[in-house]
Amino acid sequence: MYNKFITIVVIPQKTSLVRKFKISNVLLPFILIGALVFVIGWIWVIFDYFSERTNQREHIIKKEQFNQQDLITNQFFDEFERVQMHLNHLAGINNKLRAFTSLGQGATTKGAENSQQFQEKIEVAKKEGIINVIASDTTEINIDQIEREKNYHLLISFLSNNENPLNRIPNGWPVKGFLNKEFGIIKDPFTGQVRPHHGIDISTQLFSPIISPANGYVTFSGKDDYYGNLLIIDHGNGFLTRYGHLARAEVEKGEIVKRGRTIAQVGNTGRTTGPHLHYEVIFNRVPQNPVKYIHN
């Protein structure tokens, strides 16, 4: 058994010399195992090489992403610091205007609220790494502060005009029609519950023109869940007027309006049972009965 051999014959192509190799049956398994280990070793080396190259490429990509992220972060915090300084400046102007026009002392400005919310988002971003998500808010605040500063200048121009202050007190009917629902406690037509009604409802034809009862400054023009299309005018000296359920507004936020100007059209938007104008007069944050101003 131990004298058996396996003969391997090698015949070259370019020579007639034939070579023979004898391998003992005892050595053959060791040779095959060695060859297998050798092949596996080379396969592992090749696999490890390409894996290392792949990891190196990923490392380079991640490093570039990190550098870009770091640049975005620095730009973001620089931009926020600039926005914060500007918001503080606008908050100071806003407080002076409120003190001058008696719009309510100690009120929190929209800019201050945005600043506080934005600071909270930054803290979250530092922990969770979502700088890219909240960086978009910087652009929104930047646009908002430009619009707000423009509105402040318009308001200062409006308040600094040496006109008769009586022109800024609501007076007369904002629309031609008849009184449908009075100021006070009413029964809600949708829920059947008794609730306060902070204004009056004037029924009239759809798209009837609504005029401003006094000189003022438009502080809001947009949509509301209850009042539908809503318009709010600040007349200074603590007076606000609100106009609800509009078909459309004819003025925009930040615009200065004069008494008698058409500011909107009667509509049927929001929670309503028919076309009418919901009209409110507010003095120092307290709703007033608009009827006494209509008959003034």
φ and ψ at 236, to 5 degrees? 80, 170
**Both 174 and 126 in a single domain?**
no
Per-residue pLDDT, 94? 66
Q: At what angle do helices 131-159 and 28-101 cross, to 10 degrees?
A: 10
Per-residue pLDDT, 110? 45
Please state the domain count of the chain.
Answer: 2
- Residue range 53-91, pLDDT digits in tens: 888 888 888 888 888 877 877 777 777 777 667 666 666
Cα 195 versus chain centre, distance: 33
Is residue 276 domain-resident? yes
Is residue 75 domain-resident? yes
Is residue 21 domain-resident? no
Per-residue pLDDT, 111? 46
φ and ψ at 24, to 5 degrees? -70, 145
**Both 173 and 283 in a single domain?**
yes
Per-residue pLDDT, 125? 57
**Both 196 and 278 in a single domain?**
yes
End of a domain among 145, 160, 175? 160
Is residue 6 domain-resident? no
**Both 153 and 188 in a single domain?**
no
Is residue 114 domain-resident? yes
Q: Give per-residue burial for 39-49: e unless 16+ CB within 10 Å, then b.
A: eeeeeeeeeee
Is residue 10 domain-resident? no
**Both 212 and 156 in a single domain?**
no
Is residue 37 domain-resident? no
Stretches where the chain sits below pLDDT 70 are 1-3, 14-16, 83-84, 86-163, 296
Q: Tell me the two tokens of residue 124.
A: 């979250």
Q: DSSP 3-state assignment of 190?
A: coil
Q: Tell me the two tokens of residue 199.
A: 């204004």
Per-residue pLDDT, 175? 95
The DSSP annotation for 52-80 comes to: HHHHHHHHHHHHHHHHHHHHHHHHHHHHH
**Both 223 and 269 in a single domain?**
yes
Per-residue pLDDT, 252? 92
Which CATH number belongs to the domain containing residue 237 in this structure? 2.70.70.10
pTM over 0.75: no
The DSSP annotation for 92-151 comes to: HHHHHHHHHHTS-TTPPPHHHHHHHHHHHHHHHHHHH--HHHHHHHHHHHHHHHHHHHHH
**Domain of 83?**
63-160
Q: At what angle do helices 110-128 and 131-159 cross, to 10 degrees?
A: 170
